[in-house]
Structure 1
Amino acid sequence: MTRRRAGLVALFGAALLALAVEPATAQPSASTTVEQIWDLNLNLLYVAIPITILVEGILIYTVWRFRNQDEPKPTKENRRLEITWTVATAIILLFVGVASYQVMASPYVTAEAADQAELQGDDTEHIEVQAYRYGWSFYYNGTSFQNDAQVSSTTTLRLPANQDVVLRVTSRDWLHAFHVPALGLKSDAFPGQYNRLQTRATETGTYQLYCAEYCGSGHSQMLGEVVVMPQDEYEQWRSEQQNASAS
């Protein structure tokens, strides 16, 4: 392949990359979790799309260039070319590994095993998520933290906007999975165990919650909502619930 043709292929690949990435970057991020996941996806696309275009371009050119050759000839050994693509592959894999590790190691992305009792931070809201056949219960600094009156809700999980929240996910009976796609949240719910999710919702609104693990005949009805509220409205709601529980 001549330098001119290689340049045209590279330019074509860059144009396709721009078209593919621009719509994705325009999407608002509803939480820090989904923002980091999208950033990783876009970084991988920056690498994958040009490589795909380049390889497919070389393949199409080769097929077209030698389409009339009835007797194929063996390729000659080219150590420089072999070393080049080996080093290039190693660099690409290193980039993918580092980028993935930075996101997967983030507490906002990866679920971690948690103890039954976990200390509450000053600036972090702790909520226990309990799955059961076939619904959801949520406890706000209540059952696990004895320094606060119990505040709970069913079906609807309420979160304060622009504040770190720790979700401790568990199950009352058997295996379920807590999943809120728009917020980038997903964790298995095991009976007698806790998985810890941390996030910061940045956009107020209502988001779909459902069970992502088949759990029986009522699995498809195991739905809920996550309502992200301004902090002052969230504090007012929790205060009203706390007063009602104490009375």
Structure 2
Amino acid sequence: MKRTRIALVSLFSAVALALVAVPAAAQPSTTAELINELNGKLLYLGIPITLLVEVILIYTVIKFRNNDDPQPTKENRRLEITWTVATAIILVFVGVASYGVLANPNVTYAEEPGLQEPGQDGSTLVHAEAYQWGWEFTYPGENVTVDGSEAAPVVIPADQDVYFEVTSRDVIHAFHVPEMGLKTDAFPEQNNTIKTVAHYQENDDNVYQGYCAEFCGVAHSQMYFQVEVVPQDEYEQWLQEQSSEGESGGSGNESGNASNSSVVTAPAELTAVEY
């Protein structure tokens, strides 16, 4: 029995040290920070509960493994009240913690009357339009359009409100940047807006992979794009360069669509099928 206690104490100590020793990694956006922080809280809550249940289960199996005459469990109101109250406390904690994240506009953005429109008051608005099988990202009022490829990524400023207005040109798609915690559906004739604040991290390329997360046809797997986070001054310089090239005909909608048009590699008889 003494060895069992020592083993259990050692196990709990190892888990506690592991949780404390793991450093908090820098997050690429406030959205990812909120989501990962919530996941961490639920993990810290779930691990002790899981260990407690497993310890009780193992103890019960070992202690009563040779019991050939089991007796019905006697009623214990104190025990029932205890686990009912404990469960209620846990559920309240999970509900409050989850609501605090889900109600945050950086996770679940909802337009409210009287508030500043996206793209105003110093914020950045990017219109993301999905189609079979590519992306077109435009910056309203800036004469800038990119396709999100490695050569023309979606550039956004750091430490500033950024809104992605997502829609679809044909079928249902989905805008998803896992590392930044961004995801929303892209529906035809409908705009879904998501908000975040990106963080610029030194000694990092600050480039994040995005893709379509809704199966949309034979070339669905080719619908990748990249989001690059840069400091504010670099972002303004990039906008000026892209606007100048767009006015001179070097880039813009034509180059973006031309780049994406090469993505469609499906046979002609398959592209006629509606998904």
- Do Structure 1 and Structure 2 share a fold, with TM-score over 0.5? yes
Matched, 1:136 2:135: yes
Alignment of 1:155-166 (within 5 A): 155=148, 156-166=153-163
User: RMSD across aligned C-alpha pairs, in angstroms?
Assistant: 2.4
Task: Give CA-to-partner distance per residue, 1:55-110, whole Å, 9 cap, x none.
Answer: 11011101111111111111111100000000000000000000000001111112
Unaligned runs of 5+ in 2: 249-275
Q: How many residue pairs get matched? A: 235
- Give structure 1 stretches of 5+ with no counterpart: 143-147
Separation (CA, whole Å) in 2 of partners of 1:39 and 1:152: 34
Aligned to 1:86: 84
1:92-139 Cα distance to aligned partner (Å, 9 max, x none): 000000000000111111254799xx4532121111111111111111
- Is residue 158–residue 226 contact of structure 1 (8 Å, CA) maintained in 2? yes
Distance (Å, rounded) in 2 between the aligned partners of 1:137 and 1:114? 27
Contact 2:118-2:124 within 8 A present in 1 as well:
no
Q: What TM-score do the two structures reach when normalised by structure 1?
A: 0.87
Correspondence for 1:171 among 162, 168, 173: 168
Secondary structure of 2:71's partner?
coil
CA distance in structure 2 between the partners assigned to 1:114 and 1:220 by the alignment = 35
Q: 1:133 touches 1:218 (CA, 8 Å); kept in 2?
A: yes
Identical aligned residues as a percent? 53
Structure number with the higher strand fraction is 1
CA distance in 1, matches of 2:111, 2:215: 21
Moved more, 229-238 or 14-23: 14-23
- The residue number in structure 2 matching 1:145 is none
State the partner residue of 1:57.
55
Q: Are the structure 2 counterparts of residues 105 and 159 from structure 1 closer, same or farther at C-alpha, using a change threshold of 3 Å?
A: same
Please give the alpha-carbon distance, in whole angstroms, between the structure 2 residues aligned to 1:158 and 1:71.
Answer: 71
Change beyond 3 A, Cα 1:215–1:112: farther
**Matching residue's letter, 1:134:** W
Aligned partner letter, 2:245: A
Question: What is the deviation of 1:229?
Answer: 1.2
* Counterpart in the other structure of 1:69: 67
